A and B are shown apart, each in its own frame.
Chain A
Amino acid sequence: MTDVDDAQLEALVAAAEEGVALDGLIVTDEGGENGEGGEDREDGEDGKDGEDREDGVGDRYTFATGSDTHAGLDEAGLGRVAAQNPWYVSNWYYWEAIERPPAERAFLRWLEDADERDVPDRYEAMAEGRLAASWGQLHVTIRLGEHGHRVYTVRHAEDADREPEALEVHTDPRDAREIATFDDRGRYRPLKTAPTLPTGWAFVDLDGRALAETVGFVYPATVANWYRERRGELDVSHWRETMARQTGIYGVVETWDRGEGHEHVNWVAEACCVDSQCLKRREWAYDEETPLEVDGGDGAFPCREPCSLVVSAARTWTTLEGEEPRTYEFELTPSEKEQLEAIVDAVADGRTDDIREADFSDGANRYRARFLRAKRFDDEGDLCGVATDEWDGAEGADGADGADEADGADG
């Protein structure tokens, strides 16, 4: 237990006048009544009336924690009792005397479960390095610094058991932008909340502000939206209104909603928004009245409208889905049919890199796929020699995103 910090004690005494009540700590100052303190207070403030105590400037404070109540304290007495409870004092100071944006404060408190766990419980956990929380793929640990100031460390959840020193150590939150740009295989991550955050790094010695900044660079705006949701103020924009808002090359997506149900939006959500693809918890639906049948996910932070990646993909699907189905006839063995299914599954689940070179039992094995191609594709690349037939519109969809990227991406 560290001594209570003088500045914190002073701040506490000053705040007592207004009344302190946080995380089980209650400090009141009943002085000044009857004009003795010369202070300008209104009558009838909390805890003033009906209490049995002596009047007088000297013994006006009450200091109570979960288990103890000390009433009738003078300033020295308050100092003494506070010094015996430095955790409560510094906890109060950390949360109330340091200025923070409300969302950031709520987030930092949520990380240490401050509304549920009492001060001694949290402080012991912090002292022993066992206080941790996760946010998407981030693993945040909270340790006790000087005078109760929290010191945060952030790692990838998969690195939670590795010492920060064994990782690439950072202290500048801005470094997180670069880290969040590529996955472990060096591929660009266009969706920040995809569960592909790379491993191998740690941000250390962060204060609350720096932690919030780091989280903001890795998962932009997630804290702001989470906070809105907590307060019952999340402004969800559903699929229909979002697509109706689009203009330019995305204006076409609105035409995908033909008033014939919303199955296509279920497919989009299943393709892009489930937890295996995106850690945001999808809160948007087809429209206000029409929920989707696909699970929105369990993420801590909400998704309040279809994101730009989904809008872009939807543009491609709008074109592709304008085609009418037709009947093709292919001759395949049962195993070949299953193999095609296995290949689609492997690509959809991002599993192709995990298939072992010589695992010939897996239909999506490269040699198996090459064999199938050698056997069943003709020189034009047509399956079983069956021509696709040119489709109006099918061509335009190819590389559509490339075209839309060129449109202003560099200026």
Chain B
Amino acid sequence: MQALVIVAHGSHLNPDASAPTYAHADTVRETGVFDEVATAFWKEEPSFREVLRTLESEEVYVVPLFVSEGYFTEEVIPRELRLEGWDVDAWDSDGTSATQATFAAADVDKTVHYCGPVGTHDAMADVIVRRAESVTGDPEVGPGFGLAVVGHGTERNEHSAKAIEYHADRVRERGRFAEVRALFMDEAPEIDDVTDHFQSDDIVVVPLFVADGYHTQEDIPEDVGLTDDHREGWETPATVDGHRIWYAGAVGTEPLLAEVVLERAADAGAEVGDALEEVRRRTRVAAGEPAPGPAGTGD
């Protein structure tokens, strides 16, 4: 038997923090390729400490729903899962290239395949593009459009900026969007000046965050100038300095992210059959149907 565990931060204050985690877990569940699919949280339940004991499977694939390698993926999660002999070197990563490492856990008799975070997987580039499709409601979006991939800067996490740039580069190489930029919240080039960085009239702004919360629903919308007060919401698209800004909200809420979760597990040796294809197909954007939810009004 094989199990998938999606581990995420969760929140004591924000009831929506866990929503994307649950949604992606359900998408994977519906493919039926894992005997068990579970979620676990730092701030919610089950905790990282107690999730493994709820499973029957001997093979467990743990995929962190985090945007980058760093404190949580390198220290907190392995410690709380009680991965025996964990050392960050086991990932043999340059900070964005972790794939997986295999450990025993101290409190259960299981083999744990501890995967790199979803945020650094190559397939994230597809999710970013898909997010642009869903916020514009245009499965062909690209020509004439600028795309801003937004993250924290290095102040918060040295690897986070690297991952943002990496994905921005990859999307740019596809030549689909007129312009692609990596922008940051606390370092240059800054998201505050988003319109300075683009020629295109239309700019899609995709924050590389796992869940909508303070940063994606308060900070960034105000910094970008979508609204003076996040509580009043904003238009999609919103006009800022003569540009139309299509603000996508957290990339982690995009249904296609479930495919990256599966990719991570598959890279670590999980049997996923044709689930990758299935998820890609099921989460496709139909023309003329902008994504509902956070991008609309911000409420």
Contacts and interface: CB of A to CB of B under 8 A. Distances in A.
Contacts of B214: 405-406, 409-410
B210 A410 contact: yes
A411 B215 contact: yes
Interface string B216-258: 1000000000000000000000000000000000101000000
Nearest to B209: A411
Tell me which of A181, A192, A305, A405 has the highest count of chain B C-beta atoms within 10 A of its own C-beta.
A405
A190 interface: yes
Interface residues of A, number: 35
A149 interface: no
Among the interface residues A191, A223, A402, A408, which one has the most CB atoms of the partner chain B within 10 A?
A408
A283 B186 CA distance: 44
Contacts of B11: 190, 405, 409
Interface residues of B, number: 42
A38 interface: no
A54 to B, nearest CB: 45
Nearest to A177: B22
A198 to B, nearest CB: 13
Interface string A189-200: 011110000000
A215 to B, nearest CB: 11
Interface string A240-270: 0000010110000000000000000000000
Contacts, number: 108
A401 B11 CA distance: 10
A309 interface: yes
A221 B50 contact: yes
Contact of A221 (B51, B79, B119): B51
Contact of B43 (A193, A224, A304, A308): A308
Nearest to B13: A405
Contacts of A405: 11-14, 43, 213-214
Contact of A224 (B53, B209, B211): B53
Nearest to A248: B71
A65 interface: no
A228 interface: yes
The 10 closest A-B pairs by CB, nearest first: A410-B213, A411-B209, A220-B46, A411-B210, A190-B12, A221-B50, A220-B45, A188-B15, A221-B46, A224-B53
Interface of A: 101, 174, 177, 181-182, 188, 190-193, 216, 220-221, 223-225, 228, 235, 245, 247-248, 304-305, 307-309, 312, 401-402, 405-406, 408-411
Given A247-B76, A309-B12, A408-B9, 9 more contacts: A188-B15, A192-B44, A220-B45, A225-B50, A405-B12, A405-B43, A409-B17, A410-B209, A411-B252
Interface of B: 9-15, 17, 22, 26, 42-47, 49-51, 53-54, 56, 66-67, 71-72, 75-76, 79, 107, 119, 208-216, 250, 252
